[in-house]
A and B are shown apart, each in its own frame.
Chain A
């Protein structure tokens, strides 16, 4: 039998901000899927662990010209200008976070992390959260913890993994069925599936058959802080220019820049 090396994948997301309603279903689906804990008081959003977080953007115009747009922010899984040169991976002294060449997913290994939080400082997207306290579930509610994702302990950093355990399950399934290749439907993140508005699309950005491949080429597509060269794998779509401009730090009077397309 001919042995073939499988082509590396580049999993990513395209989020249509014109469709996103800010309902928060992605946030809850993520927390339920990934055993994300909750505290009695979660109103200090700086220490509120939300792998997926929906931000509210506004055009800052006075009534009644005000406009609002919601922006869901998972980990952007930066590739960097050279493959694997993500801001967080570069600074981790413990190799607790790594760039997976096979999938393009930035991993987080909780047991290796010793909590120095360099990665949190390096991440331009505030996608990483530190466990300042032990997770505590009310009596009886540990029953709903999923065995597919390990609960984290105090003193480690955690973040969105693009539901990597679902990728592993899809791979197992493909192996069992002897199909080898993973179908687009077989691996979808929890937030993508939960989004009632169908705003999130997930797939292999390099695979022409996947929906994300075409969507990321939309003229209204942009990425967050693109000019930093983080080369992220989460694309956003919006017809509104002020929203696209909010995706990066523009100087007053500076025009919207055409994004660099590194993935093509």
Chain B
């Protein structure tokens, strides 16, 4: 048969019609759609019994209660604990992502020792024995004081155990991380007579003046601050933010005063000038409850007239005068300081000036004012440690960081000075360093110097939960349980107005071969024997914790998760102060009458100023951001692997930089490639850089992204206290 054109076409059309009418195309489409969605590797989460557990968050000092939702043995969600006095159901981004830290592949799963640069698993007995042998050797050589420690916090039983171990063993070199609380505490001691912590009664204030504090960027207890500021909006209380950059806090303020960075102390003194010269202060307070007022007044009136302050701060004379009047005339005014999240203590001058501003309006101990808070609720006392002769002698040695020494007699801890001391070869070198609840390699300023200093220490022991930068540099790691797996008391200060302690409980059994750091300390002490062992008579950390809290608190804590000291009452100024004269002592004028701490660096080579900025979307401290936080980081902060710095369009025009352009950022401490983002909400001449990026360790979601602010900004010792008072550094930005 001959196939002609007509036949070919009819056959073709016939076949097409036939296939279309048959079930074949439909079957294929159906199968295809099923097949395309049939991916066996898409997980199907197993169902199970829902269990809710109460615990406490330990990722920042904020002290939130958490409600952990479990499906059988799996933690699926962490939420804020309803009814908790701090956060009442709310929770921050980091707390909400905490399950990602529990299940992180970067958990340290067993004790490990570094052998030829590689990690090798060892047994717990071997790990503890390595430490005790080393410690015993050093003690026998009379070098007990060369054992040092860097720990996360001052309060709570774990920190108390560390202090006890160092005292019994005989080393003065236990350092804890410092924050604005340290600067405040010192000012309270100097003015009011006791080294307490500040409480800020935002809930009752009707005028809040913040000197750069990121009140909703993670300052104090973050969730409490969110709630307090939301409530202030309802009450129509006024809120003024003094900050060089339009941070989230400044954006939410009723008034934003873009000050020249580093001159906040001058503005506070200028406001004091207005209040003094116009006699707007609380007369009874000044006349009956103060000492040194006249000298102080004389100094301020002579040195800080608004006209001069305006020149230095970049804020108009009229604005300063109005602000001073408005502040003094408000019923319950409140001024606070501590830049950003308050991670850097700040200068004595600044904190003292802000505190005096509060004092003059008569708000100390009053509703809506600054309260003197105890460092946590009272615990059952431990028997006093009696250091043996070796320890007693070693404790006479001076601290390596200079705290409490001739130069800085007022400081408690100065970890930011450690790198400098070690690198310049002063003092006896540290032979053994403990790192617990801290990540100094990431969080201490001037990363390069810190790395160099740590490299010079022959033996470093880390108690980290995750493989962070400091753990990577260690020689031995004794991994702690993740905070969701362990018991721990969490006394909260963070500017709250009543003493609160939370209890963290294990919401899941420890997943790996880890050990509670409290148990590790007790084991080390007991192995050291004699008087040291006697000071640690507890069977384990849990019994220690239970005994320390006492039955009544323990019961309440295990049931509700928190305990509030209902009996605490702030002492109003009318009832006097704790100083020897029971009066408020105005700070020595000489300590306030000097130019503020300046940014270091040559102005010609580095014409710009770099400042670090904190945000709730990135964890800037010892804990690295989990993947959820990196996901919500805006592309104006992180673009692919590049850190994005913020500059004013005017600055960008001067430098010839366009939005998204690549540039090289350099400071006296370091340099790196960045991209630029133009934003009107920043003072011209400044470069803002987000804190919390540039991790070298952790998982692939975090490591290698952006740059670490601490690698660019070095510490500046406050001449008065020794605390780190750096607020920025001079910098240059050039087209790449």
From the candidates B41, B105, B251, name the one contacting A139 in the complex (CB within 8 A): B105
From the candidates A33, A68, A140, name the one contacting B105 in the complex (CB within 8 A): A140
Nearest A residue (CB) for B87: A196
Would B77 and A32 count as touching, CB distance under 8 A?
yes
From the candidates A18, A25, A194, name the one contacting B616 in the complex (CB within 8 A): A25
From the candidates B45, B78, B630, name the one contacting A142 in the complex (CB within 8 A): B45
Would B680 and A63 count as touching, CB distance under 8 A?
yes
> Is A161 in contact with chain B by the CB < 8 A criterion?
no
* Residue interface mask B245-277, A partner, CB < 8 A = 1: 010100110001010000000000000000000
> Is A253 in contact with chain B by the CB < 8 A criterion?
no
> Is A197 in contact with chain B by the CB < 8 A criterion?
yes
What are the residues of chain B within 8 A of A23 when measuring CB–CB? 92-93, 216, 226, 248, 616-617
Would A38 and B248 count as touching, CB distance under 8 A?
no
Would B230 and A19 count as touching, CB distance under 8 A?
yes
Would A60 and B680 count as touching, CB distance under 8 A?
yes
> Is A6 in contact with chain B by the CB < 8 A criterion?
no
Q: Provide the bound-state CA to CA distance between A40 and B701, in Å.
A: 5
> Is A61 in contact with chain B by the CB < 8 A criterion?
yes
Q: Provide the bound-state CA to CA distance between A95 and B361, in Å.
A: 66
Assuming A22-B248, A66-B681, A138-B699, is B76 touching A146 (CB within 8 A)?
A: yes
Q: Provide the bound-state CA to CA distance between A198 and B525, in Å.
A: 48
Interface residue stretch chosen among B179-187, B286-294, B635-643, B708-716: B635-643
Give, as a whole number of angstroms, the nearest-CB distance from B422 to chain A: 37
> Is A50 in contact with chain B by the CB < 8 A criterion?
yes
Q: Provide the bound-state CA to CA distance between A114 and B33, in Å.
A: 7
Q: Provide the bound-state CA to CA distance between A198 and B89, in Å.
A: 10
Q: Provide the bound-state CA to CA distance between A155 and B38, in Å.
A: 11
Chain A interface category by residue count: 35 or more
> Is B142 in contact with chain A by the CB < 8 A criterion?
no
> Is B624 in contact with chain A by the CB < 8 A criterion?
no
> Is B44 in contact with chain A by the CB < 8 A criterion?
yes
Interface residue stretch chosen among A41-49, A80-88, A225-233: A41-49
Would A38 and B628 count as touching, CB distance under 8 A?
yes
Q: Which residue among B48, B248, B636 has the maximum number of chain A CB atoms within 10 Å of its CB?
A: B248
Chain A contacts with B in 170-208, Cβ cutoff 8 A: 193-199
Assuming A25-B90, A68-B251, A140-B103, is B96 touching A147 (CB within 8 A)?
A: no
From the candidates B42, B246, B634, name the one contacting A68 in the complex (CB within 8 A): B246
Give, as a whole number of angstroms, the nearest-CB distance from B81 to chain A: 11
> Is A62 in contact with chain B by the CB < 8 A criterion?
yes
Would A198 and B230 count as touching, CB distance under 8 A?
yes
Give, as a whole number of angstroms, the nearest-CB distance from A94 to chain B: 9
From the candidates B99, B104, B684, name the one contacting A63 in the complex (CB within 8 A): B684
Q: Which residue among A70, A153, A194 has the maximum number of chain B CB atoms within 10 Å of its CB?
A: A194
Assuming A153-B37, A196-B227, is B93 touching A28 (CB within 8 A)?
A: yes
Would A21 and B74 count as touching, CB distance under 8 A?
no
What are the residues of chain A within 8 A of B650 when measuring CB–CB? 63
> Is A220 in contact with chain B by the CB < 8 A criterion?
no
Would B627 and A194 count as touching, CB distance under 8 A?
no
Would B680 and A66 count as touching, CB distance under 8 A?
yes
Give, as a whole number of angstroms, the nearest-CB distance from B316 to chain A: 11
Q: Provide the bound-state CA to CA distance between A141 and B230, in Å.
A: 35
What are the residues of chain A within 8 A of B629 when measuring CB–CB? 28
* Residue interface mask A10-42, B partner, CB < 8 A = 1: 000000001101111101110111010010111
Give, as a whole number of angstroms, the nearest-CB distance from B18 to chain A: 26
* Number of residues from B at the complex interface, CB < 8 A: 75
Main secondary structure of the interface of A (DSSP, over half): loop
From the candidates B77, B248, B682, name the one contacting A33 in the complex (CB within 8 A): B77
> Is A67 in contact with chain B by the CB < 8 A criterion?
yes
Would B104 and A138 count as touching, CB distance under 8 A?
yes
What are the residues of chain B within 8 A of A147 when measuring CB–CB? 45-48, 71, 76
From the candidates B78, B230, B680, name the one contacting A58 in the complex (CB within 8 A): B680
> Is A259 in contact with chain B by the CB < 8 A criterion?
no
Would A194 and B45 count as touching, CB distance under 8 A?
no
> Is A144 in contact with chain B by the CB < 8 A criterion?
yes
> Is A143 in contact with chain B by the CB < 8 A criterion?
yes
What are the residues of chain B within 8 A of A142 when measuring CB–CB? 43, 45
> Is A165 in contact with chain B by the CB < 8 A criterion?
no
Q: Which residue among B36, B216, B226, B630 has the maximum number of chain A CB atoms within 10 Å of its CB?
A: B226
Nearest A residue (CB) for B511: A140
> Is B97 in contact with chain A by the CB < 8 A criterion?
yes
What are the residues of chain A within 8 A of B8 when measuring CB–CB? none
Q: Provide the bound-state CA to CA distance between A21 and B627, in Å.
A: 21
Q: Provide the bound-state CA to CA distance between A156 and B42, in Å.
A: 13
Assuming A147-B45, A198-B90, is B33 touching A64 (CB within 8 A)?
A: no
> Is A5 in contact with chain B by the CB < 8 A criterion?
no
From the candidates A35, A62, A141, name the one contacting B680 in the complex (CB within 8 A): A62
> Is A134 in contact with chain B by the CB < 8 A criterion?
yes
Would B617 and A24 count as touching, CB distance under 8 A?
yes
> Is A3 in contact with chain B by the CB < 8 A criterion?
no
Q: Provide the bound-state CA to CA distance between A50 and B638, in Å.
A: 17
> Is B75 in contact with chain A by the CB < 8 A criterion?
yes
Assuming A43-B638, A155-B36, is B105 touching A21 (CB within 8 A)?
A: no
Would A21 and B226 count as touching, CB distance under 8 A?
yes
Would B42 and A145 count as touching, CB distance under 8 A?
no
Would A144 and B76 count as touching, CB distance under 8 A?
yes
Would A154 and B45 count as touching, CB distance under 8 A?
no
Chain A contacts with B in 49-65, Cβ cutoff 8 A: 50, 54, 56, 58, 60-64
Assuming A24-B617, A156-B37, A196-B90, is B75 touching A141 (CB within 8 A)?
A: no
From the candidates B74, B226, B683, B699, name the one contacting A143 in the complex (CB within 8 A): B74
Would A24 and B229 count as touching, CB distance under 8 A?
no
* Residue interface mask A63-78, B partner, CB < 8 A = 1: 1101111100000000
Q: Provide the bound-state CA to CA distance between A206 and B82, in Å.
A: 27
Nearest B residue (CB) for A150: B44
> Is B311 in contact with chain A by the CB < 8 A criterion?
no
Chain B contacts with A in 73-125, Cβ cutoff 8 A: 74-80, 87, 89-93, 96-97, 99-100, 102-105
Q: Provide the bound-state CA to CA distance between A67 and B253, in Å.
A: 10
What are the residues of chain B within 8 A of A143 when measuring CB–CB? 74-75, 103
Nearest A residue (CB) for B100: A141
Would A153 and B628 count as touching, CB distance under 8 A?
no
> Is B1 in contact with chain A by the CB < 8 A criterion?
no
Give, as a whole number of angstroms, the nearest-CB distance from B447 to chain A: 24
What are the residues of chain B within 8 A of A114 when measuring CB–CB? 33, 36
Chain B contacts with A in 22-50, Cβ cutoff 8 A: 33, 36-37, 39, 41-48
Q: Provide the bound-state CA to CA distance between A146 and B33, in Å.
A: 26
Would B45 and A28 count as touching, CB distance under 8 A?
no
Assuming A63-B684, A194-B91, is B99 touching A42 (CB within 8 A)?
A: no
From the candidates B79, B222, B256, name the one contacting A193 in the complex (CB within 8 A): B79
Nearest A residue (CB) for B74: A143
Would B631 and A48 count as touching, CB distance under 8 A?
yes
Would A24 and B681 count as touching, CB distance under 8 A?
no
Q: Provide the bound-state CA to CA distance between A199 and B248, in Å.
A: 15
> Is B58 in contact with chain A by the CB < 8 A criterion?
no
Would B37 and A155 count as touching, CB distance under 8 A?
yes
Nearest A residue (CB) for B650: A63
* Residue interface mask A104-124, B partner, CB < 8 A = 1: 000000010011000000000
Listed A/B pairs (10) with beta-carbon separation below 8 Å: A32-B628, A40-B701, A42-B631, A43-B640, A63-B682, A68-B251, A142-B43, A153-B39, A155-B36, A155-B37
**Interchain residue pairs A-B with the least CB separation, the first 9:** A196-B90, A196-B226, A145-B45, A23-B616, A68-B251, A66-B680, A147-B47, A28-B96, A21-B216
Other contacts beyond A64-B256, A143-B103: 6, CB < 8 A: A25-B96, A68-B251, A139-B105, A144-B99, A152-B42, A156-B37
